[in-house]
């Protein structure tokens, strides 16, 4: 398996990753604590889609003492948003609702320009706008959310970025990100930029504000180095909660915008989404007879993963589906149809919210609202 901030491939062993990265598993005790605040434990926690963390216990200690924390997450806008991207955003919104937390949402439009040889700057600008609509459609609270573009809102980031950069050496960045002598120097500086929003809540308010970063596990290298720098600048170390990747509709690998047939984009028409689902890779057998007799394998099935990650909320239903699949009671065609029938209304609803977001975008963007959020 390969898991870096720019490449995720192979069959991912999350326990091994967590060990290698030095993160902690979400224990039952910790989840109980979250549940006390949330009422019901969110599906993504119950199913361990968010599966590891750093300092989440500390975030809760502080919260329970009356000290609020801020949330920070982000997106590298290089193309349309697909359903895999919104999995952690949905969870982030849940955290915002439960903990009345402010959220800094970073659009690293510089990142894609620097890392991809063929990306021109026009693309990130366009995608920052398009993707912001998807983010807003998730339902974040405009009073508590600010979307920051690295390029357009560098005025809010640069001062902190150079403070951070002064404590990051080339040798650290090179080792952590596997850079080379031939890497362009924008890439070398970039980790400072991605660290900044973790410190903004403190810098802006003049108080020490704990920060929790919900993000897929591939972003962890950034937080490791941000955590080393934090105390040197008098900021609390940012805490993290890490998610798994939603697999693509093809065989193996995470959902990727570069393979459009295996990704359901939020802007896909219901018909296109249905077509993609109907040709998805499953864990089925070659013949119906064989499947009825031997059952299929949900663990490698993309359709099952979609239900598990996002669409089938009731645990009893998902367990039933798993049993029906293993026993050969249900066939892949039926299963795909069932998923398509859930995905279609979901997309239509999301697209309606996305349209509405066009009239409210300035309530979210740093250039129109600044970065000052209420306490």
List residues near ligand TRP by CB under 6 A: 5, 72-76, 106, 108, 111, 194, 213, 215, 219
The DSSP code sequence of 39-65 is SS--HHHHTTSEEEEESHHHHHHHHHT
Mutual angle of helices 122-137 and 332-357, in 10-degree steps: 100
For 27, 104, 229, 247, the CA distances from 62, given in Å and listed in that order, are 18, 20, 21, 35
For 39, 69, 78, 104, the CA distances from 148, given in Å and listed in that order, are 31, 19, 15, 7
The Cα–Cα gap between 144 and 373 comes to 6
CB-nearer residue toward ligand TRP: 73 or 149: 73
On whether the CB atoms of residues 56 and 87 are closer than 8 A, the answer is no
Closest distance of CB 237 from ligand TRP, Å? 15
The Cα–Cα gap between 154 and 30 comes to 37
Closest distance of CB 136 from ligand TRP, Å? 17
CB-nearer residue toward ligand TRP: 5 or 210: 5
221 token code pair: 């290298």
CB-nearer residue toward ligand TRP: 27 or 155: 155
CB-nearer residue toward ligand TRP: 44 or 219: 219
Closest distance of CB 91 from ligand TRP, Å? 12
CB-nearer residue toward ligand TRP: 54 or 75: 75
Closest distance of CB 215 from ligand TRP, Å? 3
50-54: strand order across its sheet: 24-25, 50-54, 239-243, 211-216, 70-75, 103-107, 145-149
CB-nearer residue toward ligand TRP: 85 or 354: 85
Closest distance of CB 364 from ligand TRP, Å? 16
Outline where DSSP puts E strands in the chain. Answer: 2-4, 7-9, 24-25, 50-54, 70-75, 103-107, 145-149, 211-216, 239-243
The Cα–Cα gap between 57 and 49 comes to 18
Closest distance of CB 351 from ligand TRP, Å? 22
CB-nearer residue toward ligand TRP: 18 or 73: 73
What is the number of the residue whose Cβ is closest to ligand TRP?
74
Closest distance of CB 202 from ligand TRP, Å? 16
CA end-to-end span of the chain, whole Å?
Answer: 42
């Amino acid at each position: 398996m390969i898991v870096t901030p720019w490449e995720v491939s192979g069959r991912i062993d999350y326990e091994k990753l967590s060990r290698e990265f030095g993160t902690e598993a979400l224990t039952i005790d910790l989840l109980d604590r979250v549940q006390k605040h949330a009422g019901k434990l969110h599906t993504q926690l119950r199913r361990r889609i968010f599966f590891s963390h750093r300092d989440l216990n500390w975030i809760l200690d502080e919260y329970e003492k009356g000290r609020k924390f801020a949330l920070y997450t982000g997106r590298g806008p290089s193309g349309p948003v697909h359903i895999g991207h919104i999995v952690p955003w949905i969870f982030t919104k849940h955290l915002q609702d439960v903990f009345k937390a402010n959220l800094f949402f970073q659009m690293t439009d510089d990142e894609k320009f620097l890392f991809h040889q063929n990306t021109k700057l026009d693309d990130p600008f366009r995608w920052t706008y398009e993707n912001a609509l998807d983010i807003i459609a998730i339902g974040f609270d405009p009073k508590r959310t600010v979307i920051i573009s690295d390029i357009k809102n560098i005025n809010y980031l640069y001062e902190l970025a150079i403070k951070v950069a002064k404590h990051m050496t080339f040798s650290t960045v090179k080792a952590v990100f596997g850079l080379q002598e031939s890497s362009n120097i924008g890439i070398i500086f970039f980790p400072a930029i991605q660290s900044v929003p973790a410190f903004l809540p403190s810098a802006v308010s003049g108080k020490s504000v704990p920060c929790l970063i919900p993000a897929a596990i591939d972003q962890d290298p950034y937080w490791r180095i941000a955590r080393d720098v934090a105390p040197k600048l008098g900021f609390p170390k940012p805490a993290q909660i890490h998610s798994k990747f939603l697999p693509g509709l093809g065989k193996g690998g995470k959902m990727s915008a570069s393979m459009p047939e295996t990704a359901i984009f939020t802007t896909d028409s219901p018909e296109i989404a249905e077509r993609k689902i109907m040709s998805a890779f499953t864990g089925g057998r070659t013949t119906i007879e064989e499947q009825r007799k031997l059952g299929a394998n949900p663990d490698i099935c993309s359709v099952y993963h979609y239900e598990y990650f996002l669409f089938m909320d009731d645990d009893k239903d998902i367990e039933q589906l798993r049993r029906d699949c293993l026993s050969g009671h249900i066939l892949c065609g039926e299963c795909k149809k069932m998923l398509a029938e859930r995905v279609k209304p979901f997309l239509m609803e999301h697209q309606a919210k996305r349209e509405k977001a066009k009239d409210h975008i300035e309530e979210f963007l740093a250039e129109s609202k600044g970065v000052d959020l209420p306490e």
